[in-house]
Structure 1
């Protein structure tokens, strides 16, 4: 016969089990709530950007081209006759003036030739004098009908022949004088002499192609450059109006201004292969900053835009919408605005349409911007409450973790 538990003991055991089940259920519900509870949504902070105001001012319309320094004159001094070079009267790299002595060719053979021509002239002059004397006597005899008309006519022809011989002798002497002048070689233009091409003692002739020296004009000089055909009409319009279009030359790195000149000539043909036309600008080059055949960067100022809207160049962007800027609104949001840019000097860009003076545009931090995004100017304090809100969100996140 089994021994039964008292009724009070059984009720106590069932109460303990029920309590444990309730506690486990509450713990499971709490864990499920914590796991499935969504994380608090954080507000997107305003992006920090650089902002500048659109202003009004003048903007020069400048064309940037690549040019070549082209001397006004480059002359290769060639001998005009043959002979031994006896003297060189210049230093390499020397500046010379027009007519200055450069070199000497042995003149002795031409002096001898001139003396022979002078002797022949004296002989022919004597012959001419005798013929004229005979003609005068024959004239009197012909008037007296003492000689035949043929004899008189022959004497007249003899005088004419002797006169022609005298003229030939004088021309021969003039030729020798010219040869003697050619023996003394002088500078045909003012400029700078290059390196020596021939030394004294060499035999030179008219077939020499290298020449005695090469003279290049340094001051003044010119710069040749090209402009595209779609910009040519504007240049010709200003040029034909009589305006002096300023041209500025920069070094090959485009970092240093070298010289300033003016446009003075426009080519008469368009290059069909490139669609460009050649222009030439004049430079005084007193400081000799421009060197012959040097490559330079050229800026041709065609016109100046007066009282136009100007913005920093980095503010103007190009993309799928075209040319645009981000305009900062009063509520610190941005609006993508299409614009029509004009001339630029690298630092500022003229806006022909789409903006007005006083508009605020974003100049830095545009890579992650979109239309309607919130922004904050660099250096400005965050809006009131934004710092506390961020701190509260951080604290909530820490508590959740």
Structure 2
């Protein structure tokens, strides 16, 4: 047997102090974080309890459910389109001698836009006129001969055949006179084409050719583009499900108003009338095209501009509440209804048409009831509310949010259904 195995067993004493220190550390942490009243979680709970008691009233602003007219409005995205667009092209070839317009200028129908070198076309006209005079002289001579032949035939001095031949020659020259007149008219027309005039009234774009260049009738780009912007049209589409309501009004002889708003859908920029509907529905999108007309007197609408379109189909009487009062949740649309004891209750509703700042209520409310429109983020079922006086801040005005912010807690936002910390003591709810 080895010497090491014969030695007596001796316990190791260096491990026990570390175990004791570990147990004490665990006990101290437990006491500090769980039992101690100065723990961070309990401090937050105490301050929250002291800041706002559970029974504190929440300042809110109310609106009364009332019966009133609400517009049936259909919204869409539209594109401004020029009422007429013309690419001005030359109908003859030649050198561009003069440009009589500036880029972006407004022109009227018949105004001179450009001048093409007319000399070659003037020569053709003079040639046609000369040929016409020559044939006219031959015609007159043939007609005088025919008169003499007819007189001689009555005297039995010449044969009938000679008279008929002279009559045929006169008819030949009469045909030549018509051809000569057509040639003169054609040369005159070609000469008039050297003056390029505006075919419609409108606003010019940027010219595509400069003075001194050759211009050709085959050039598809043309000289300039004219767009008619007064009046102007807007093209937009609606789903086929909304088409029957529009058709009913149009077939009844009504003119539907169309309003245009800017890209942010905030500022109204024009008002016009619905002009026409397309004769078929696009099977790919299930929509139908509509066209509206606008006077555009101040030229606020520009071709190819994107706008928000609101088509007003009609007006109906209904129960209405402000749009900001309606909330959406797992139960659908609902409002916070205030009872006579200034307590709020979640009231599910069925909404109908929406008219900007108002919503029609199909069911769930009755006229005269009060609903919350401001201060909704701190409400819960059965919460006590304090009604902010309407005279202190008008609904929707700049003072409304300021009045609520003055009463709101200054610390972080509370969780849903929980009281906020740091709020002032609640005052008795005032009568609405």
Q: Cα offset for 1:142?
A: 3.6
| Contact residue 61 and residue 302 of structure 1 kept, 8 A | yes
Q: How does 1:32-181 map to 2 (within 5 A)?
A: 45=55, 48=58, 50=60, 51-181=62-192
Q: Cα offset for 1:239?
A: 1.9
Q: 3-state DSSP class of the match of 1:73? A: strand
Q: Distance in 1 between matches of 2:388 and 2:360?
A: 28
Partner of 2:385 in structure 1?
377
Q: Cα offset for 1:367?
A: 6.0
Partner of 1:343 in structure 2?
353
Q: 3-state DSSP class of the match of 2:281? A: strand
Q: How many residues align?
A: 338
Deviates more, 1:200-209 or 1:233-242: 233-242
Counterpart check, 1:253 vs 2:264? yes
Q: 3-state DSSP class of the match of 2:217? A: coil
| Contact residue 72 and residue 312 of structure 2 kept, 8 A | yes
Q: How does 1:200-219 map to 2 (within 5 A)?
A: 200-219=211-230
Q: Which of residues 173, 187, 198 is equivalent to 2:198?
A: 187
Q: 3-state DSSP class of the match of 2:278? A: strand
Q: 3-state DSSP class of the match of 2:115? A: strand
Q: 3-state DSSP class of the match of 1:72? A: strand
Q: How does 1:222-241 map to 2 (within 5 A)?
A: 222-241=233-252
Output one character per residue of 1:215-274: Cα deviation in whole Å (capped at 9) or x when no partner. 111211111111111111111111222222111111111121111111121221211111
Q: Distance in 1 between matches of 2:287 and 2:297?
A: 30
Q: Distance in 2 between matches of 1:332 and 1:311?
A: 19
Q: 3-state DSSP class of the match of 1:375? A: coil
Deviates more, 1:355-364 or 1:284-293: 355-364
| Contact residue 57 and residue 386 of structure 2 kept, 8 A | no
> How does the TM-score come out when normalised to structure 1?
0.78
Partner of 2:398 in structure 1?
none
Q: Distance in 2 between matches of 1:59 and 1:46?
A: 37
Q: 3-state DSSP class of the match of 2:230? A: coil
Q: Distance in 1 between matches of 2:378 and 2:382?
A: 11
Counterpart check, 1:243 vs 2:251? no
User: Tell me, which stretches of 5 or more residues in structure 2 are unaligned?
Assistant: 1-34, 36-48, 390-432
Q: 3-state DSSP class of the match of 1:57? A: strand
Q: 3-state DSSP class of the match of 2:101? A: coil
Counterpart check, 1:291 vs 2:302? yes
| Contact residue 78 and residue 307 of structure 2 kept, 8 A | yes
Q: Distance in 1 between matches of 2:137 and 2:350?
A: 93
| Contact residue 309 and residue 357 of structure 1 kept, 8 A | yes
Q: Distance in 1 between matches of 2:335 and 2:59?
A: 13
Counterpart check, 1:268 vs 2:279? yes
Q: Cα offset for 1:178?
A: 0.7
Q: Cα offset for 1:175?
A: 0.7
| Contact residue 47 and residue 374 of structure 1 kept, 8 A | no
| Contact residue 67 and residue 296 of structure 1 kept, 8 A | yes
Deviates more, 1:151-160 or 1:49-58: 49-58
Distance 1:102 1:213, change over 3 A: same
Q: Cα offset for 1:98?
A: 0.5
| Contact residue 332 and residue 374 of structure 1 kept, 8 A | no
> How does the TM-score come out when normalised to structure 2?
0.73
Q: Distance in 1 between matches of 2:153 and 2:386?
A: 122
Q: Distance in 2 between matches of 1:378 and 1:76?
A: 67
